[in-house]
Amino acid sequence: MSMFTNLVSNHIFGYVMKKVIVLFSKLYQRVNKYILKITKLSNKRQLKALYFYIFGLAIAFIAISVDINIDSNVTSIAATTYKTSWLGNTFGGGDKWVQNNIEAMYVAPNGTVYTNSHWDEGGREASIYKDGNVIGIVEDTHGWSRLGGKAVTANSKYIYIALSQGTIGNTDKDYPPDGITWYTVRRYDLFGKPAPFTGGRGWDKSMLIISNKSEVTGLATTGNELYVSDSANNKIRVFNSETMQELRSFSVDKPGAIAIDKQGNIWVIQNQNKIQSYSATGKPLSQQITNIAKPTAIAINNQDRLLVADNGPHQQILIYNIKNQPVQVGTFGTKGGIYAGVPGEVQPLKLYGITGVGVDAAGNIYVNSNGFNKSGTDLRKFSPSGKQLWQLHGLLFVDNADADPKTDGLEVFTKQEHFLIDYNQPAGKQWTYKAYTLNPFKYPQDPRLHTSPDATFVRRIQGKPFLYLTDMYSSFVQIYRFNPAKDGKVAIPAGMFVGTHGGGEKSMPGNWPAHQPEKGEWIWRDRNGNGAFDKDEYDKSEDYPYIGGWWVDSKGDVWKTLRTQDGIRRYPLQGLDANGNPIYTYASMQKQKTPSIFTDLRRIEYFPQTDTMYLSGFTTDHPAIGDDTKVVGSEIARFDNWSKGNSTPSWRTVIPYDTTGKREVATAAMSVAGDYVFAVTGKTAEVYVYNAKTGEMVKKLKPGPEVAGESGWIDIPHGIRAIRRSNGEYVVFVEEDWKGKVIMYRLKS
């Protein structure tokens, strides 16, 4: 126990003894009166022995009671069991999880769904689904400089996926030479095992190299032929699906997704906006479709009709009779998609960010929605009449959750999603996907479309909900408001803080956002309420560029830590403007000194109701080894009466940190709720629970069997978020990007 903990303990003991004396005095008076009454004695000396006996019993009783109370205050959580749950993915882990961001999909006649994506943290870039379940994985797509892709197909014997293979230096094992990437079609059997062929390339001879310039953009099979979109060379190339020998090719300008109708004609998305038909030999036919806003996927149904995923404002599947000139004969899905009706509200037929469409022999329709800017997988199967039959989710990647403080933990937000929680349900079943809060058509400058935010703070200001989002490198905070009457469940861009660029350049590289200052840092506020970054909406400054962490307190004040000795910045909320945006300015910003115990300040959480500050960082006693910018530091300290200028900690405690330079053990994130401080380690994802009054560690949480006892690394500075519900239960959200979810611990004090 540290010196500071001992001081606190002594203080508590002195306080307790005063209470003991007061209690005994009252007890003594009552006992005295009672004894005099029942004995009718006036000589008190005769009862001296009895008094001392009672005094001893009372002291013992009170001491035992106090000891029990003190001990229960410190270790009340330690004695409790906890439950592990999760949200955002249909499955909890182990050998089952839904991959990140399906970018291509093929549905076999029997309803087996084959998928492909560029990246899945757990290695499931290409997967196999059926009947609402994960039934397989297409193996060996992850790591060793290889990625999945955006094309997949299958026949009765093989799966074919687009895959890129970069160099790793082992050219003797048939890897590309330095500076070269192979863009390939890789062949597998129907169980997801590589299926090599004569002349195949790669370490197991299962790759067909298509290009060294850019990836394969479309795949389809018919009979014994495999059609490949070689966009880099403006060709459709045709191979024997068994020997993988090239049979022929024909010119197609920027070919993408491919579908083949019952007559053997080839339908190709070209230039991302036109669909053109070709004969099997490559002759262009007169049939084409040119009036779809953004076609992203195509398929042929059992009636030989063409289904086209329109990822434009309609967010629908368009259905065409293609017997002669294509004629649209129907649609599938609600017009306007998720933005119809109550904008953002999830409903079975409201689609959003469509990347895949397919049909089986029975006419069932399969649609995958990814949201926008790769929000996450939402794979659905529908009957021919439009009834949703099942749905699979892999919604979260490098993300964490927070609860709306007004809802007692029943409504939870991540960077794009809104969930409802029912704590009475079994593990993994508590969450319901309520809303998708991003609208790229109405708010094309939404920062979530142009950056990669992660952890969410949900705050109430003047009774209204707001979202504050940070990113992996603490480089910004984005602010969102809600207007249910006009925008339903959609979060409207309201403001943004951006730090100074270390190289003296613009804070945000590239052409977004418009009108940003050429250097320094800035605060943007949506002064005209249109959700866009307009001229004269920036407040600018210049400050130290290296940020340790952000915090938004319950009053709406924004705090950040810089890794300097005057490293605390507070931006007091100046109210809400006429459009409901929070107002922050550099003119009202306050600079505060870093307490002297810290040499490198990393995280900050302030609670105005109790005037309590929690800080973390590296200290003189426990310095950093190297410069790992993603960690909390080596110590957490609590400061009482912070607004009165107190910089002496009431306690400080050492947390897991790197002492070897190997970075195997380090604390990645912290969160304070109620009577406890929660901190999570980066690689092991263990949650350490500390008593907020003493700093003493009282419990450690690990992923339970509900999530196969596993977790990925904590990659973000706010990868843990804890809340205390009104019934005394603590809910702790922890980032888990390995298998696409957020882990949720539940424990009672």
Beta bridge partners of 250: 236
The rounded percent of the chain whose pLDDT value lies above 90 is 87
- Pick the residue with more confidence: 73 or 648? 648
Beta bridge partners of 357: 367
Hunting for tokens 């300015």 — which residue is that? 585
SS3 label, residue 658? coil
Question: How wide is the angle at C-alpha 157 spanned by C-alphas 151 and 163, nearest 5°?
Answer: 25
Quick check: 48 pLDDT over 90? no
- Dist CA 159 CA 311 (whole Å): 26
Tell which residue, 306, 352, 296, has the closest CA to residue 329: 306
pLDDT per residue over 668-700, tens digit each?
999 999 999 999 999 999 999 999 999 999 999
Question: How wide is the angle at C-alpha 561 spanned by C-alphas 557 and 562, nearest 5°?
Answer: 140
Quick check: 2 pLDDT over 80? no
Average per-residue pLDDT in the chain?
91
pLDDT per residue over 308-360, tens digit each?
999 999 999 999 999 999 999 999 999 999 999 999 999 999 999 999 999 99
Phi first, then psi: what are they for 209, rounded to 5°?
Answer: -75, 125
SS3 label, residue 6? helix
Q: Which residues contact 333 (CB under 8 A, 6 or more apart)?
A: 315, 316, 317, 349, 350, 351, 367
pLDDT bracket for residue 79 (50, 70, 90): confident
The pTM assigned to this predicted structure is 0.89
pLDDT per residue over 703-745, tens digit each?
999 999 999 999 999 999 999 999 999 999 999 999 999 999 9
- Pick the residue with more confidence: 444 or 3? 444
Quick check: 75 pLDDT over 80? no
Is the Cβ–Cβ distance between 677 and 689 less than 8 Å?
yes
Q: How many CB atoms lie within 10 A of CB 464?
A: 14
Long-range contacts at 241-248 (CB < 8 A, ≥ 24 apart): 241/155, 241/157, 241/158, 241/160, 242/157, 242/197, 243/197, 243/198, 244/187, 244/197, 244/198, 244/199, 244/200, 244/208, 245/199, 248/281, 248/282
Lowest mean pLDDT among 37-51, 81-95, 534-548: 37-51
Alpha helical stretches, state H, 112-265: none
Kindly list the structural domains of the chain, giving each domain's residue range(s) and its CATH number in brackets, ordered by start: 3-75 (no CATH), 101-394 (2.120.10.30), 397-748 (2.130.10.10)
Tell me, rounded to whole angstroms, the distance of Cα 358 from its chain centroid: 28
**The pLDDT value given to residue 29:** 46
Is the Cβ–Cβ distance between 207 and 182 less than 8 Å?
yes
**The pLDDT value given to residue 52:** 39
b/e 681-717 (16+ beta carbons within 10 angstroms → b): bbebbbbbbbbbebbbbbbebebbebbbebbbbbbbb
Quick check: 284 pLDDT over 70? yes
Q: Residue 186: what residue type?
A: R
**The pLDDT value given to residue 26:** 43
Where does residue 398 fall: left (phi above 0), alpha (psi -120 to 50 degrees), or beta otherwise? left
Tell which residue, 132, 102, 105, has the closest CA to residue 299: 105
Phi first, then psi: what are they for 28, rounded to 5°?
Answer: -60, -50
pLDDT per residue over 466-493, tens digit each?
999 999 999 999 999 999 999 999 999 9
Beta bridge partners of 718: none
Going from the C-alpha of 654 to that of each of 234, 472, 484, 673, the distances in angstroms are 60, 24, 45, 19
pLDDT per residue over 129-181, tens digit each?
999 999 999 999 999 999 999 999 999 999 999 999 999 988 889 999 999 99
- Dist CA 88 CA 456 (whole Å): 14
DSSP string, 45-101: GGGHHHHHHHHHHHHHHHHHHHHHHHHHHHHTTTTS-EEEEEESBSS-BTTB-PPS-
The DSSP 8-state label assigned to residue 666 in this structure reads -
Phi first, then psi: what are they for 274, rounded to 5°?
Answer: -130, 145
Is the Cβ–Cβ distance between 246 and 234 less than 8 Å?
no
The sheet carrying 729-736 orders its strands as 82-87, 741-748, 729-736, 720-724
Mean pLDDT within 101-110: 98
Is the Cβ–Cβ distance between 602 and 617 less than 8 Å?
yes
Beta bridge partners of 638: 614, 651
**The pLDDT value given to residue 16:** 39
The rounded percent of the chain whose pLDDT value lies above 70 is 90
Mean pLDDT within 597-606: 97
| E strand or H helix that includes residue 37 | helix 3-39
**The pLDDT value given to residue 80:** 85
334, 336, 342, 345: CA torsion to nearest 10? 70
- Dist CA 232 CA 472 (whole Å): 34
pLDDT bracket for residue 69 (50, 70, 90): very low
Phi first, then psi: what are they for 588, rounded to 5°?
Answer: -95, 0
Is the Cβ–Cβ distance between 552 and 571 less than 8 Å?
no
**The pLDDT value given to residue 272:** 87
**The pLDDT value given to residue 78:** 85
Task: Write out the two tokens for 102.
Answer: 């399906």
Quick check: 21 pLDDT over 60? no
The DSSP 8-state label assigned to residue 167 in this structure reads -
Q: Which residues contact 683 (CB under 8 A, 6 or more apart)?
A: 663, 664, 665, 666, 713
**The pLDDT value given to residue 38:** 38
- Dist CA 688 CA 707 (whole Å): 19
The sheet carrying 417-421 orders its strands as 402-403, 411-413, 417-421, 431-436
Quick check: 126 pLDDT over 90? yes
